[in-house]
């Protein structure tokens, strides 16, 4: 088939003559075709397009050869709009004598993706133009003039002329078209991939993770015709290797190997794209033998340094199984991608932003992008947000743990005393008799009370005055040996002391914390679905959560969202309280020993929060007005009733602390709802909170949480 012949006889229309297009030379980079205007059916095509689009194979398989079936970006509607754009000037010229002053709209190229054929090729990006030539138009209904009485020239003077207006006014189906529709395209795949890779790497809406790197690995392999792409991370000194087949490996770089001696180290020192023509001809260090074992023969290494510094952020490596694979064009593409890599890796290394809640991540990502471009840091703040604070606290946890410490220490000293008594019964010894009196005195003191340092000093006393004599006790006879072994078995653990009561208490506390954490995290899913908001959950002797919600975090915020979240917070607290009460009935759990109280602090005044990179917290409050709330947060769980002098928090109960009548009316409504749902008992206890340091005027309401839903 010659270039001048139709691609397939049946593709020709019934026009009197189908003029063959003049195709460029076989060495041309242009892709050309003549199309059936309305359907985009290909009439003729030059060898370059036939080869790239696999047209001969499609025809042999009896497949469609419409252009819109080859391009993934176009459907029939999109093609029709593009075709009408080029047909419109001919209609205006022939029927209304109006010439379009500028052909810029028609001359504007269109970008499309040429689909791969049967999976044996990669998508290609084509920039193309359309040209309608030798056009003859005929109205099927000569009496129908859709623009009669309209000043067409005036319509054209609109700036810019509206494509939609003409689409609505022109009766396109009334026009029979004879002419040639020429399609001319240019393959710009490499340039487009570079641009899309840069966009993906700099994208502020995604953190640079392994998953994100895997997404750019495939187009990288396509751009460089590579078999593998890898990235070296200086910390923790490892390569993440992504293969063209989608597999991922991690190669750890041994600490004892000097990075500077490696090929990647040489590229980093030179600070330029580094090409390795044949690995087999290079002196490679031990860690790089893995590359040869994987069949890698040539490399293109791209070192990435932090802007304006010598700090190495990473080294990107493209690998091929063919020697001498990478050329100057590859080096230019690699150089063009360096700004994108630098932005992505600097974003990944932004340490202050490594622990960011999803609701506010967008603002931190914006700031990370700014800094990746070398701009000065800007404050990250969210103004006028509402705080919601709650705490579930194990009652008297310090006293309960001190009691467990006291029990363990006394038991350990009693075991030591038993070993001493058995040794004295075997043979009298004045020194050991005096030591026995010391043990009795120590036990008596421990039984009376313990101090903060006793947990350490009492154990050290036994280690220095008793355990050092184990060899002697084992030589005192069978009973003394058994007593010494009993003591040793009791202290043979990671704590190096008797730890039975504390271990039991710690396990109960952990069980409570686990229940509270799981319950809160489950409710957080429901709360985030109401409206995204910031949430920070901290674990200590219980859990406490800090929520911030407002328009600065999510623009959809309204009073409805605030009230919904406040009610949902109370429901979550009740569910956590119920989960703790349920634990009391389980085996090996002492509900009298580990009791939990629950408190919600109300504030109907907004605060301003900001990120201070000098502190461990993600957010701090700004201004003296907001600081008052922080003071109350730190001290309210120890608050006492001004009259009864009892703690305002009580086991198994939910306490609500507020300041104003308005706040109480709102939360009284919530309590009615909780009662109706069966979360709480009916009786409400209330009072005034005794003045905290610098804070007065707080009131509280307290209700018991029901064990079972009504």
Cα separation, 688 vs 196, whole angstroms:
63
The CB density around residue 501, as the number of other CB atoms within 10 Å, is: 19
Cα separation, 278 vs 272, whole angstroms:
18
What's the pLDDT tens digit per position in 459-481? 999 989 998 888 888 788 778 88
* All structural domains of the chain with their residue ranges: 9-187, 191-353, 397-497, 504-704
Q: Which fold has domain 504-704?
A: Alpha-Beta Plaits (3.30.70)
Q: Which CATH number fits domain 191-353: 3.30.43.10, 3.20.20.70, 3.40.50.261, 3.30.450.40?
A: 3.30.450.40
Angle formed by the axes of helices 430-448 and 397-426, to 10°? 160
The pLDDT of residue 111 is: 87
* In 552-652, beta strands by DSSP E: 596-601, 607-610, 620-621
* In 218-354, beta strands by DSSP E: 228-233, 238-243, 248-252, 274-276, 298-305, 312-320
Question: Exposure pattern of 537-560 as b/e (b: 16+ CB <10 Å)?
Answer: eeeebbbbbbbbbbebbbeebeee
Cα separation, 365 vs 55, whole angstroms:
46
The pLDDT of residue 348 is: 67
The pLDDT of residue 236 is: 66
Contact indicator for 569, 388 with CB cutoff of 8 Å: yes
Name the CA radius of gyration of the chain, rounded: 39
The CB density around residue 308, as the number of other CB atoms within 10 Å, is: 7
| Residue 387, Cβ density class (10 Å: 0-12 exposed, 13-18 middle, ≥19 buried) | buried
Residue 231: which of 243, 240, 242 has the closest Cα? 240
The pLDDT of residue 211 is: 58
The pLDDT of residue 699 is: 95
What's the pLDDT tens digit per position in 41-78? 888 888 888 888 888 887 777 777 888 888 887 777 88
- Where the chain has pLDDT below 50, the residues are 1-24, 206-207, 351-354, 710
Cα separation, 618 vs 378, whole angstroms:
15
Predicted TM-score (pTM) of the model is 0.53
């Amino acid at each position: 088939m010659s270039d001048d012949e139709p691609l397939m006889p049946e593709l020709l229309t019934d026009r009197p003559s189908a003029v063959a297009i003049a195709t460029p030379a076989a060495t041309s980079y242009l892709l050309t075709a003549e199309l059936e205007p309305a359907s985009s059916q290909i009439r003729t095509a030059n060898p370059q397009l036939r080869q790239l689009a696999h047209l001969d194979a499609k025809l042999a398989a009896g497949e469609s050869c419409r252009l819109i079936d080859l391009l993934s970006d176009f459907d029939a509607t999109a093609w029709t709009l593009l075709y009408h754009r080029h047909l419109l000037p001919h209609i205006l010229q022939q029927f209304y004598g109006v010439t379009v002053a500028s052909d810029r709209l028609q001359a504007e190229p269109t970008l499309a993706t040429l689909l791969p054929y049967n999976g044996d090729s990669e998508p290609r990006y084509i920039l193309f133009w359309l040209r309608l030539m030798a056009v003859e138009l005929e109205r099927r209904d000569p009496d129908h003039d859709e623009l009669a009485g309209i000043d067409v020239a005036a319509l054209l003077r609109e700036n810019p002329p509206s494509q939609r207006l003409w689409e609505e006014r022109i009766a396109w189906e009334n026009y029979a078209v004879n002419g040639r529709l020429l399609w001319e395209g240019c393959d710009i795949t490499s340039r487009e991939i570079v641009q899309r890779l840069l966009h993906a790497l700099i994208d502020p809406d995604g953190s640079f993770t392994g998953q994100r790197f895997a997404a750019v690995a495939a187009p990288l392999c396509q751009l460089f015709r590579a078999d593998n792409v890898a990235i070296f991370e200086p910390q923790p000194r490892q390569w993440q290797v992504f293969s063209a087949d989608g597999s991922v490996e991690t190669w750890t770089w041994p600490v004892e190997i000097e990075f500077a001696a490696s090929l990647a180290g040489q590229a980093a020192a030179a600070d330029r794209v580094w090409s390795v023509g044949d690995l087999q001809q290079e002196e490679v260090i031990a860690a790089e033998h893995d590359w040869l074992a994987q069949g890698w023969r040539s490399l293109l290494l791209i070192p990435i340094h932090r802007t304006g510094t010598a700090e190495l952020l990473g080294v990107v490596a493209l690998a091929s199984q063919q020697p001498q694979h990478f050329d100057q064009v590859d080096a230019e593409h690699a150089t063009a991608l360096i700004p994108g890599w630098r932005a992505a890796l600097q974003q990944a290394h932004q340490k202050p932003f490594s622990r960011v809640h999803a609701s506010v991540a967008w603002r931190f990502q914006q700031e990370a992008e700014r800094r990746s471009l070398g701009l000065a840091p800007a404050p990250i703040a969210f103004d006028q947000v509402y705080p919601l604070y709650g705490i579930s606290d194990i009652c008297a946890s310090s006293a309960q743990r001190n009691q467990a410490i006291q029990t363990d220490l006394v038991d350990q000293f009693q075991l030591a005393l038993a070993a001493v008594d058995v040794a004295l019964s075997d043979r009298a010894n004045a020194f050991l008799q005096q030591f026995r009196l010391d043990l009795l005195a120590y036990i008596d003191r421990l039984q009376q009370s313990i101090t903060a340092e006793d947990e350490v000093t009492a154990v050290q006393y036994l280690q220095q005055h008793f355990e050092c004599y184990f060899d002697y006790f084992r030589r005192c006879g069978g009973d003394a040996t058994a007593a010494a072994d009993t003591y040793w078995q009791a202290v043979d653990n990671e704590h190096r002391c008797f730890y039975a009561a504390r271990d039991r208490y710690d396990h109960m506390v952990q069980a409570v914390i686990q229940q509270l954490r799981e319950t809160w995290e489950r409710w957080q899913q429901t709360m985030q679905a109401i409206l995204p908001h910031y949430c920070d959950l901290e674990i200590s002797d219980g859990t406490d959560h800090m929520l911030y919600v407002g328009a600065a975090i999510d623009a959809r915020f309204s009073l409805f969202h605030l009230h919904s979240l406040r009610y949902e917070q109370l429901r979550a607290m009740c569910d956590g309280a119920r989960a703790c009460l349920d634990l009391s009935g389980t085996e090996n759990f002492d509900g009298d020993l580990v009791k939990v109280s629950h408190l919600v602090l109300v504030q109907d005044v907004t605060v301003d929060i900001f990120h201070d990179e000098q502190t461990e917290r993600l957010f701090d409050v700004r201004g003296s007005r907001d600081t008052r709330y922080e003071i109350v947060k730190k001290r309210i769980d120890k608050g006492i009733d001004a009259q009864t002098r009892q703690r305002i928090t009580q086991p198994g109960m939910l306490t609500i602390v507020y300041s104003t009548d308005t706040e109480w009316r709102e939360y009284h409504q919530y309590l009615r709802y909780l009662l109706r749902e069966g979360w709480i008992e009916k009786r409400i206890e209330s009072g005034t909170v005794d003045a905290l340091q610098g804070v007065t005027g707080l009131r509280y309401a307290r209700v018991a949480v029901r064990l079972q839903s009504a």
